[in-house]
Amino acid sequence: MNQSIGIVLVSHSAHLASGLRELLAQIGSDRVPVAAAGGTRDGGIGTSYDLILAAIAEADRGHGVVILPDLGSSVLTALAVLEDHPRADVLLVDAPFVEGAVAAAVTAAAGADLAAVADAARQARGVAKFDDGSGPGSAPEPEVPVRSSSQVTLPANLHARPAGKLAQEAAKFSSDIRLEYGGRSIDPTGVLAVMSLGATLGSTVTVHAEGQDADTAIRTLTRILAEAE
């Protein structure tokens, strides 16, 4: 039985929604049911109440559904569906359409619950795609004093699946945790933040942790990194 949170992609374009679903299938897992509700029922540009309602049913495996709209009327139509069919386990999430969907799918594939999947999608809003030197986010982050640290040479690229597993496990610890690579330091509880490091096969990643469970966090996260494939 599928135990994953479901994801519904609501877009004005059927091609956009189906294309994103195809992308998620490549980087996610067969455990994550993703349904596309794109365009109108007659194939035009717009959104459809009936298609969204059907997509929720398609993605629902009894553990909750996250709805990700693209813009404008997709939000309004999804809200109308939820107003007529209220459910506590179906959430409309305000997140970047592509990045939020990727974060949600990877987190759901790791076995996270509804709240964690929705939060992962929301966190995608604050993750820069690259450092272009134009904003305050490009400034070096203040050095964080650490209690424990470890370096790992990656046996594979730090792509979506190991990044999702790392983020899921990092969120379980109370310690402050940082992941360093290429002169950058990020909070590894966000899957897109981990993926944005661009760490590749053979590169060295450093894990820092400060707090009561820092040693356990270091051992757990370095093991995940060392077993990436």
Question: In the chain, which residues fall in CATH 3.40.50.510?
Answer: 6-126
Residue 189 confidence class, pLDDT cut points 50, 70, 90: confident
Residue extent(s) of CATH 3.30.1340.10 domains in the chain:
136-226
Which two tokens mark 121?
């999608």
In the block, tokens 């994801």 appear at 7
Residue 142 has pLDDT above 70, yes or no: no
Percent of the chain with pLDDT over 70: 90
Q: For residue range 108-123, list pLDDT tens digits in order.
A: 988 889 999 999 999 8
Cβ atoms of 6 and 65 within 8 Å: the answer is yes
Give catalytic status of residue 12 as yes or no: yes
Choose the catalytic residue: 12, 15, 63, 85: 12
Which of the four pLDDT bands, split at 50, 70 and 90, describes residue 228? confident
CA 134 to chain centre: 25
What tens digit of pLDDT does each residue of 124-140 get? 888 777 766 665 555 55
Residues near 205 by Cβ (< 8 Å), separated by ≥ 6?
151, 152, 154, 158, 179, 180, 181, 197, 199, 225
Q: What is the pLDDT of residue 140?
A: 55
The domain defined by 136-226 folds into Histidine-containing Protein; Chain: A; (3.30.1340)
Looking at the DSSP bridge assignments, the partners of residue 150 are 207
Residue type, 192: L
pTM of the model: 0.72
**SS3 state of residue 177:** strand
Over residues 74-86, the mean pLDDT reads 95
